[in-house]
């Protein structure tokens, strides 16, 4: 596995380019702010006229451009609008207007890998995908550190795509932590698998099921929240710092014994078989097709699931308990008025 650092990148390359970030959401705001702080002068944000993100980008003093004009102006375009909207953005605004030989960049491999976008032959196509939420990409950079990024080159038409991608990655702080070389396929498939089985799907199902089990057995919802959700952060911090053994070193022997003897009863051979099925659905493109169809239909089940989940009692209990811990709200990563 190849890893690049700031010393391997020439940050001046990107400083000489006109960069447009399409989208000013989780990733967009972090890329734009970090780049500007790295000395990239020509950074503009491209947004729809009615975009709720306009106010945030204005507040941060970025020039805002129309979707077609931005494509005509840019040397490098980073597409950080939601994955499900990228193909239409490319078709309607980027394909017809991008300069010959411009660079088209992504922060996730979904649209390229599943061929929802098939870029013009003259373009460079690369990925710089930070391995963390956008708000962390910004907060780590601001404290002098960085979030590791993945780099992949899909097409090197200029002969310079790798150097430009490294320069881009360095300017958003990736080179401080490491820029790891991969492919669009590997990034896309592992990213989907991780978020479905562990990071988003697996962990929320685990937390909610455990919470429900305690509450149904008559325990106080507040206790269930603390044990099954709140304390997860403390455990994950120990993982993050030193791996699983580091966590086991820190918890009590009782907790560690319960971990060894009970964990495998929760995550069973059946779970492993299901993980393999989920991976095959990703690899075969079945998941991508399902998500594309859901979007073509206007996201009816997605929106319904989002609403139903937000009404789960664990959210109301959590809100009440977090209000008792006001320090949690200080230095928040997410401030919905700004980022």
- The residues annotated with a catalytic role in the active site are 108
User: In 10 A of CB 211, how many CB atoms?
Assistant: 23
In this chain, which of 18, 36, 48, 230 binds ligand NAD, going by CB under 6 A? 48
Alpha-carbon distance of 63 to 183, in angstroms, equals 32
CB of 163 to ligand NAD, least distance (A): 22
Of 189 and 191, which CB lies nearer to Mg ion in the complex structure?
A: 191
Q: Which of 33, 77, 81, 94 binds ligand NAD (CB under 6 A)?
A: 81
CB of 106 to ligand NAD, least distance (A): 6
If the CB atoms of residues 21 and 215 are measured against ligand NAD, the closer one turns out to be: 21
| Residue with the shortest CB distance to ligand NAD | 25
Question: Residue from 42, 83, 140, 154 that binds ligand NAD (CB under 6 A)?
Answer: 83
User: How many CB atoms within 10 Å of residue 35?
Assistant: 25
Stretch that binds ligand NAD, among 81-89, 158-166, 197-205, 279-287 (CB under 6 A): 81-89
Look-up of token digits 């009404």: 311
Report helix, strand or coil for 264: helix
Selected from 76, 191, 224, 314, the binder of Mg ion by CB under 5 A is 191
96 binding partner (options Mg ion, ligand NAD, none; Cβ < 5 to 8 Å by kind): none
Tell which one of 33, 43, 80, 172 touches ligand NAD (CB under 6 A): 80
CB 231 within 8 A of CB 251: no
105 sits in which H/E element: strand 103-106
Residues 93-122 that bind ligand NAD (CB under 6 A): 107-108
Phi, psi for 217 (deg, rounded to 5): -85, 5
- Tokens 């320090």, located at residue: 327
Could you please report the per-residue DSSP string of 5-72? -GGG--THHHHTS-EEEE--SHHHHHHHHHHHHTT---EEEE--TT-TTHHHHHHTT--EE-HHHHHH
Least distance in Å: CB of 113 to ligand NAD?
A: 12
Give whichever of 124 and 191 is closer to Mg ion, judged by the CB atom. Answer: 191
Q: Which of 94, 129, 151, 224 binds ligand NAD (CB under 6 A)?
A: 129
Cα dihedral: 178, 183, 184, 190 (round 10):
-70
Compute the distance between CA of residue 215 and CA of residue 323 in angstroms, rounded to an integer: 21
CB 81 within 8 A of CB 27: no
Pick from 6, 13, 22, 168 the residue near ligand NAD by CB under 6 A: 22
By CB under 5 A, tell whether 187 contacts Mg ion: no
| Sites of contact with Mg ion (CB under 5 A) | 191
| Sites of contact with ligand NAD (CB under 6 A) | 22-28, 46-48, 51-53, 67, 80-83, 85, 89, 107-108, 129-130, 133-134
């Amino acid at each position: 596995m190849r890893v690049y650092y700031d010393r391997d990148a020439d940050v001046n390359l990107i400083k000489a380019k006109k960069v447009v970030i399409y989208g000013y959401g989780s990733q967009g705001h972090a890329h734009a702010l970090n780049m500007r702080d790295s000395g990239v002068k020509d950074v503009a944000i491209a947004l729809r006229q009615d975009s709720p993100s306009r106010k945030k980008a204005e507040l941060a003093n970025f020039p805002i451009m129309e979707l077609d004009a931005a494509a005509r102006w840019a040397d490098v375009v980073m597409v950080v609008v939601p994955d499900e909207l990228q193909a239409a953005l490319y078709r309607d605004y980027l394909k017809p207007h991008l300069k010959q030989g411009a660079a088209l960049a992504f922060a996730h491999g979904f649209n390229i890998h599943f061929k929802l976008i098939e870029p013009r032959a003259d373009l460079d196509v690369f990925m710089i995908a930070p391995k963390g939420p956008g708000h962390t990409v910004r907060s780590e950079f601001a404290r002098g550190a960085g979030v590791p990024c993945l780099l992949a080159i899909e097409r090197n038409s200029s002969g310079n795509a790798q150097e430009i991608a490294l320069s881009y990655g360095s300017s958003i702080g990736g080179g401080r932590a490491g820029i790891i070389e991969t492919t669009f396929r590997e990034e896309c498939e592992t990213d989907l698998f991780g978020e479905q089985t562990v990071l988003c799907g697996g962990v929320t199902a685990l937390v909610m099921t455990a919470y429900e089990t305690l509450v149904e057995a008559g325990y106080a919802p507040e206790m269930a929240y603390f044990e099954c959700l709140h304390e997860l952060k403390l455990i994950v911090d120990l993982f993050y710092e030193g791996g699983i053994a580091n966590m086991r070193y820190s918890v009590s022997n009782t907790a560690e014994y319960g971990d060894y003897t009970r964990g495998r009863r929760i995550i069973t051979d059946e779970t492993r078989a299901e993980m393999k099925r989920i991976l095959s659905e990703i690899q075969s493109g079945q998941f991508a097709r399902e998500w594309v169809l859901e979007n073509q239909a206007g996201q009816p089940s997605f929106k319904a699931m989002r609403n139903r989940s937000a009404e789960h009692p664990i959210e109301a209990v959590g809100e009440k308990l977090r209000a008792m811990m006001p320090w949690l709200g200080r230095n928040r990563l997410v401030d919905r008025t700004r980022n």
